[in-house]
Structure 1
Amino acid sequence: MSIFDTEVIKGFIRMCNDGFEQGWHERNGGNLTYRMRTQEVLQCKPYFKVKGEWTKMSVSAKNLAGEHFISTGSGKFFRNVILEPQNNICIVEINSDGDSYRIVWGLENGGVPTSEFPSHFMNHTVRKDATNGETRVIYHAHTTSVIALTYILPLTDKVFTRTLWQSATECPVVFPGGIGVVEWMVPGSTEIAIATSKLMKKYDAVIWAHHGMFASGPDFDITFGLMHTIEKAAEIYLNVLQSNRPVIQTITDNNLREIAKYFGVNLAEEFLDN
């Protein structure tokens, strides 16, 4: 047995590789964090190293005090996670004040958690509260088609939500609450962490203009599926635009309501026109 035989580490590695295979993680682009369950921490604890010094963060969250997170490393490449996970991902422990972390496993050749850990941390704290602890995954990827849409659509929650809902029938079922949009900000900054976390109080996913997307969920499959669904809908919309043919039919607002009723989801009416 090794730490790589635990289901949580295997799932984390698989998600990193799946994202790379989609083409969402050029060079060291993107990052992934997972808030571990108590049983998962116990399974991994025999492989923890001697605990080092605490590193102070620029953000804090009392409801994450004492938690453990699996995180990709800053400057590490998603394509290398499946080859050498011990050098490209890590497990960090949060202190009792919820404002510092220390690495307890991984990054054996040196390094720190993702440079966007503050954004992840702030998203985890609001999603934990908003979902009564259900949300455990925060995933950031450079989704090509979504990024392209941020150059041609108004950067509003309503425009992006309605456009994506009308681009693929599955969308109102997968994200009935809509999607948020953050205008361009410096990645990794406290400012973008705060802006994203404000939207994450309401949404499961948030788009970063000209950069990519953040998605959240209770496990790897659901979170990856959310990201994948949104990106595919954006790709479909772009394909329609590139066809140079006029749109002669679409999924209407009433169609969206019918979908929501059939699948038993609460559609956010604020994003519909009539």
Structure 2
Amino acid sequence: MVSFGDSKFVKKVCGITQASYQHGWDERNGGNVSLRLTAEDLVGFDDVSEVKRTLDLGFDAKVLSGSYFLVTATGRYFRNVISQPGLDLGLVKITDDGQHADLLWGYEDGAKPTSEFPSHLMSHIKRLKVDPEQRVVMHCHPTNVIALSFTHELDERSITRLLWKMQAESLVVFPEGVGIIPYMTPGTNEIGKATSDKMSEFRTVIWPHHGIFGTGDDLDEAFGLIETVEKAAAIYSQICAQGGEIRQEITDEQLGDLAHAFGVVASPKFLS
């Protein structure tokens, strides 16, 4: 029998969740990940053809009906996923009515998808309209990004420009900038809607005083995007710890040169 638990998809999520925990981004049961799969991805696995349970989504995901998602469970710790994926991960298929998800693998002890799953689905829907190759949504709690949301004006232009100027890699990795929503209660459809509205323009959205949502074509890309944003915020934190005076910086002209050299289009809203 070929088990889905031995698949490259499960192994990759295990690796990413462990790396995120080791970075200090996912204390206790913080953080969640969803990976969209196709029917072709599931060919050859013998244990994904039978519906184990049907779960209520609490959200109308009809536009995603028939889609498969590998998603972390609610209330679970990222540090444990690598040792017990069959408990902390689940493979679900969105039903035709869009209101439910059929569990095909995982959640062996009765677990359910993360409480942020509706927010993930909203972001998947929006990103698919922008780029049909987008398959991953990841939410975590990067320390320096959260700290920045307490000390800096919550303005997309000023925070994007700050992060761009902290390291040469920033503009190359997120040339569209970063989105920001107001502080909102997590785990609600309202915060999911606000986040997905930003996802039409950005691949990463900061939740002030809480964390970040990042997307990508694959798990490495989504993780690397968040990692780059967090590294830029960490550099700024170090500058502040050293007195906060910036004597030299990457200029706007140099940002433009970076964009040209790497063939990316920097958002004209943020590059003046």
Task: Normalising by structure 2, report the TM-score.
Answer: 0.96
Separation (CA, whole Å) in 2 of partners of 1:24 and 1:125: 25
Separation (CA, whole Å) in 2 of partners of 1:267 and 1:224: 21
Task: Give the secondary structure class of the aligned counterpart of 2:264.
Answer: coil
1:5: which partner in 2? 6
- Does the Cα contact within 8 Å between 2:48 and 2:104 map onto a contact in 1? yes
How many residues in Structure 1 have an aligned counterpart in Structure 2?
A: 271
**RMSD value over aligned CA atoms?**
1.3
- Does the Cα contact within 8 Å between 2:181 and 2:207 map onto a contact in 1? yes
Separation (CA, whole Å) in 2 of partners of 1:64 and 1:156: 32
Confirm or deny that 1:217 pairs with 2:216: yes
Deviation of residue 53 (structure 1)? Answer: 5.0
Deviation of residue 49 (structure 1)? Answer: 6.8
- Does the Cα contact within 8 Å between 1:41 and 1:68 map onto a contact in 2? no
Alignment of 1:78-93 (within 5 A): 78-93=78-93
Q: 1:55-98 CA deviation, whole Å, 9 max, x = no partner? A: 33332233311001000000011111011110111111101132
Deviation of residue 54 (structure 1)? Answer: 3.4
Separation (CA, whole Å) in 2 of partners of 1:107 and 1:124: 22
Confirm or deny that 1:40 pairs with 2:45: no
1:19: which partner in 2? 20
1:71: which partner in 2? 71
Separation (CA, whole Å) in 2 of partners of 1:127 and 1:59: 17
Alignment of 1:45-194 (within 5 A): 46-48=46-48, 50-131=50-131, 133-194=132-193
Consecutive unaligned residues of structure 2, counting only runs of 5 or more, are none
Task: Give the secondary structure class of the aligned counterpart of 1:215.
Answer: strand
My pick for the range that moved more, 70-79 or 156-165, is 156-165
Separation (CA, whole Å) in 1 of partners of 2:49 and 2:83: 21
Q: Which amino acid aligns with 2:40?
A: Q
- Does the Cα contact within 8 Å between 1:6 and 1:43 map onto a contact in 2? no
Separation (CA, whole Å) in 2 of partners of 1:182 and 1:61: 22
Task: Give the secondary structure class of the aligned counterpart of 1:267.
Answer: coil
Task: Give the secondary structure class of the aligned counterpart of 1:247.
Answer: coil
Identity %: 39
Q: Which amino acid aligns with 2:9?
A: V
Task: Give the secondary structure class of the aligned counterpart of 1:187.
Answer: coil
Separation (CA, whole Å) in 2 of partners of 1:75 and 1:5: 23
Separation (CA, whole Å) in 2 of partners of 1:179 and 1:227: 10
Separation (CA, whole Å) in 2 of partners of 1:78 and 1:141: 10
